[in-house]
Amino acid sequence: MSVHVVVGASGGIGRAVCADLARRGLPVRAVSRRDPGVPGAENVAADATDPVAMSRVCDGAVAVHHCVNPPFATWRSAFPEATRVLLAAAGKAGARLVFADDTWMYGRVDGPMREDTPARPVSEKGVLRAWLAEMVLAAHARGEVETVIGRAPELWGPGVESLLGATLFAAASRGGTARWPGDPDLPMTAGYAPDVGAALVDLALAPASATGRVWHTPVPPPSTGREFVGRLAAAAGRPVRCGRITPPLVAALRLVSPVAREGAELLYQFEQPFLVDDADFRAAFPTTATGWDDGIAATLAWYRADPERTRRRLVPV
């Protein structure tokens, strides 16, 4: 039986893809720079920028899931190179390449983001994301390798550290103020990691007619940051105040926090309605979005399982 190769398997989305493949009874080869330790998978330690290693690990693959997410400090060099290498390795293996993408290339928008929304990035990371997506789709158009892109908004959920992560869930676990990254009263959507992982597997298994394009992965109905914090407080069974990460706070944090320095240019997303239209995906695929309450409960349980997670936060709670 052909194997699904998940490169970047130690990250939040990579692990979500591995978990969904296992749920469906599909063989998994989990790959990361260090042994990813994915239960039930064939675990391989290899560098995604090494063409010889990737050719080897992709041999026999029916699909290659590109879930690589290098440290921000190496994005400019490592991300394009890993993408080139994986496109070549998947093409050599005759496998479909499924690329886990985000919405940073859309920039500032004045309505819901759709798959045909123009790429108008306003950040360096958005420019890079737009370039990578073009690389992936161009390889498909040239007939070099079959590709498809699953694009998700800001991620959250078990196994994911993001703007919607420890800063919020630490407050629910230990008490304090949950600081939303922007205006907490604007409508927003977000990508729950297990849903994104399942959607990427749907794309790997889809007919060839679904390839060569971008799909927005499923999201729940729009909410707001304030409603999110209210749901979080209810799940935690304790009062949680709703604050916000303000521009002055970000400016101060950039002086001392590498994470803040890298993430500051992305906070614009939460100072505008952050709405992703997933209608195309919902019409074509079986995976549906997990409700906010169920996702919050599962994520809160993940944070509480390791108290150290609630100490790794961007700003004080």
154-164, pLDDT tens digit by residue?
999 999 988 88
Mean pLDDT (whole number) for 32-56: 96
The pLDDT assigned to 154 comes to 93
Query: 10 Å Cβ neighbour count for 56?
Result: 12
Statement: residue 261 has pLDDT above 90: no
Nearest to 147 by CA among 191, 105, 88, 107: 88
Statement: residue 315 has pLDDT above 90: no
Pick the CATH number of 3-155+190-216 from 3.10.450.50, 2.40.50.140, 3.40.309.10, 3.40.50.720: 3.40.50.720
State the alpha helices, DSSP H only, in 94-224: 124-141, 166-174, 193-205
Answer with the residue of higher pLDDT: 284 or 270.
284
Instruction: State the average pLDDT for the chain.
Output: 92
The pLDDT assigned to 317 comes to 43
The pLDDT assigned to 258 comes to 55
**Backbone phi and psi for residue 294, each to the nearest 5 degrees, phi listed first:** -65, -40
The pLDDT-based confidence of 263 (bands split at 50, 70, 90) is: low
Residue type, 192: Y
The pLDDT assigned to 313 comes to 52
Query: Across the strands, what pairs with 152?
Result: 102
Contact indicator for 196, 151 with CB cutoff of 8 Å: no
Answer with the residue of higher pLDDT: 246 or 30.
30
Residue 153 CB contacts under 8 Å (≥ 6 apart), including other chains: 102, 103, 113, 189, 190, 191, 219, 274, 276
Q: What angle do CA 119, 123, 126 make, to 5 degrees?
A: 45
| Topology at the third CATH level for domain 161-188+221-273+291-311 | UDP-galactose 4-epimerase; domain 1 (3.90.25)
Query: 10 Å Cβ neighbour count for 258?
Result: 11
CA dihedral 23, 26, 27, 33 (to 10 degrees): -60
Q: How far from the centroid of its chain's Cα atoms is residue 87's Cα?
A: 19
Reduced to 3 states (helix: H, G, I; strand: E, B; else coil), residue 106 is helix
The pLDDT-based confidence of 74 (bands split at 50, 70, 90) is: confident
Mean pLDDT (whole number) for 249-278: 74
The pLDDT assigned to 311 comes to 64
The pLDDT-based confidence of 306 (bands split at 50, 70, 90) is: confident
Query: 10 Å Cβ neighbour count for 157?
Result: 25
Statement: residue 296 has pLDDT above 80: yes
Query: 10 Å Cβ neighbour count for 259?
Result: 15
Domain spans in the chain, listed from the N-terminal domain onward:
3-155+190-216, 161-188+221-273+291-311
The pLDDT-based confidence of 266 (bands split at 50, 70, 90) is: confident
Contact indicator for 69, 242 with CB cutoff of 8 Å: no
Contact indicator for 313, 257 with CB cutoff of 8 Å: no
Reduced to 3 states (helix: H, G, I; strand: E, B; else coil), residue 45 is strand
Contact indicator for 285, 148 with CB cutoff of 8 Å: no
pLDDT tens, residue by residue, 89-132: 999 999 999 999 999 999 999 999 999 999 999 999 999 999 99
Would residue 67 be called left, alpha or beta, if left means φ above 0 and alpha means ψ between -120 and 50 degrees? alpha
DSSP code of residue 60: T
Reduced to 3 states (helix: H, G, I; strand: E, B; else coil), residue 269 is helix
Q: What is the pTM of this model?
A: 0.94
Statement: residue 167 has pLDDT above 90: no
User: CA-CA distances (angstroms) from residue 36 to 7, 24, 311?
Assistant: 10, 20, 23
What strands lie across the sheet with 3-7, from one edge to the other?
42-45, 28-32, 3-7, 61-66, 96-102, 147-152, 214-216
Rg (CA), the chain: 19
